[in-house]
Amino acid sequence: METSVRILRVFLNRWLDRAEADTDRTLRKLAEFGYFFSISSAQKRFFSEVKQLLSDSGSKYYMLARNLFERVDKNRTIEFGLAFGYYGLAKHFGDHLLIREKTDIMVGILPDNRSIGTATAFSDRFSEFSKGGASSFVIFCDALDLPTCGLFPIIENNPHKSFFLFTGAETTALQFAQKNVMPILNVTSDNFAALSDKLIKRQRLFGGFIRYDDRNANVIISKSFLNNIYEQGCLFLFLIEEKSCSEATHDRINQFAYQQKRKPTHPIFITELFGDLKWLNENGGRLAGARQ
């Protein structure tokens, strides 16, 4: 095990214990440490932004963090954070500066526009992205034949990679209990509320997603919709653009998500998925995959 990872794990255990009793001060301390130990200018910019956001004592991010610490198993939070934050982003940025030509992929999206019909094809695509440097994977599970594609052994054998599993199926969301997995539930499915409750009781980390276009954009950015999402225990909301969406609606949703990160009105982390992945692409590597 890498010495840096061992140190990080001890560090996170200590500070997450403190965060349960003193969330506000702990978050500010973590942002300070993150900034101090940042390697690249991109990391420093990120933590500088975080420090600025947390300078507002009324920020909804404090409530978001408090809810996360209370609802999610601490070890799961640490392991997913290391897989996504350290192996996926921090370590990748450092490698990217040193060996740019070998680390040009940050996020792999599966399935993409090319067909994945067999376990071999799925494994080959995963390996292709991994060799390019991808440490995080967005997987649209409902478009795959999971028993055939063999997702379970890939996740099991790659504990240092993070997996975001987008699904409306209860069996998929509950089956993959590894600590490097975050199920992202379809908030429009009939079982969303019941499945959210099951994941909360199991202290699992999870989020929700909704596809947007011109027809439902106004609903998605409404207070009533966000209140309902939060009341059902969803702390992370992923907005996904439909192919039929107009450019004007895309720009409005993208701006809404940006404003929610700057000054959230609800204790939910909201991301316009492909817009934010494009930003990640421009700030550290090539995006692998294509819009669904």
**In a 10 Å sphere around its CB, with 0-12 CB exposed, 13-18 middle and 19+ buried, how is residue 157 labelled?**
exposed
Instruction: Kindly report whether the peptide bond that precedes residue 111 is cis, defined as omega within 30 degrees of 0.
Output: yes
Interatomic CA distance for residues 258 and 170, integer angstroms = 30
Q: For the whole prediction, is pTM greater than 0.85?
A: yes
Query: What phi-psi label fits residue 290: left (phi over 0), alpha (psi between -120 and 50 degrees) or beta?
Result: beta
Q: Please say if the pLDDT value at position 288 is more than 70.
A: no
CATH class given for the domain over 3-288: alpha beta
* CB proximity list for 75: less than 8 A, separation 6 or greater: 179
Q: What is the pLDDT of residue 132?
A: 80
Could you tell me what percent of the chain has a pLDDT over 70? Answer: 89
Interatomic CA distance for residues 291 and 112, integer angstroms = 7
Q: Where are the domains of the chain?
A: 3-288
Q: Please say if the pLDDT value at position 26 is more than 50.
A: yes
Q: Which of 219, 218, 213, 229 is nearest to 270 (CA)?
A: 229
Q: What is the pLDDT of residue 147?
A: 75
Q: What is the pLDDT of residue 100?
A: 46
Interatomic CA distance for residues 248 and 245, integer angstroms = 8
Q: What is the pLDDT of residue 107?
A: 86
Sheet holding 286-288, edge to edge: 269-272, 236-241, 207-212, 181-186, 162-167, 136-140, 105-110, 286-288
Interatomic CA distance for residues 138 and 128, integer angstroms = 15
Q: Please say if the pLDDT value at position 76 is more than 70.
A: yes
Q: pLDDT tier at 131 (50, 70, 90 boundaries)?
A: confident
Interatomic CA distance for residues 127 and 147, integer angstroms = 19
Q: What is the pLDDT of residue 120?
A: 87
Q: What is the pLDDT of residue 144?
A: 85
- Mean of pLDDT over the chain: 86
> Is the pLDDT higher at 96 or at 199?
199
Q: How many CB atoms lie within 10 A of CB 20?
A: 12
> Is the pLDDT higher at 15 or at 273?
273
Q: How many CB atoms lie within 10 A of CB 145?
A: 14
Interatomic CA distance for residues 148 and 122, integer angstroms = 9
pLDDT 10s digits, 86-129: 888 777 655 544 444 544 677 888 886 566 778 888 999 899 88
Q: Please say if the pLDDT value at position 191 is more than 60.
A: yes
Q: What is the pLDDT of residue 291?
A: 44
Which of 95-109, 139-153, 236-250, 257-271 bottoms out in mean pLDDT, i.e. has the lowest?
Answer: 95-109
N residues, the chain: 292
Kindly state the average pLDDT of the residues 199-226: 97
* CB proximity list for 115: less than 8 A, separation 6 or greater: 121
Q: What is the pLDDT of residue 285?
A: 52
> Is the pLDDT higher at 147 or at 218?
218
Q: Is 39 helix (H, G, I), strand (E, B) or coil?
A: coil
Q: Please say if the pLDDT value at position 224 is more than 90.
A: yes
pLDDT 10s digits, 254-282: 999 999 999 999 999 999 998 888 777 66
Q: What is the pLDDT of residue 89?
A: 79
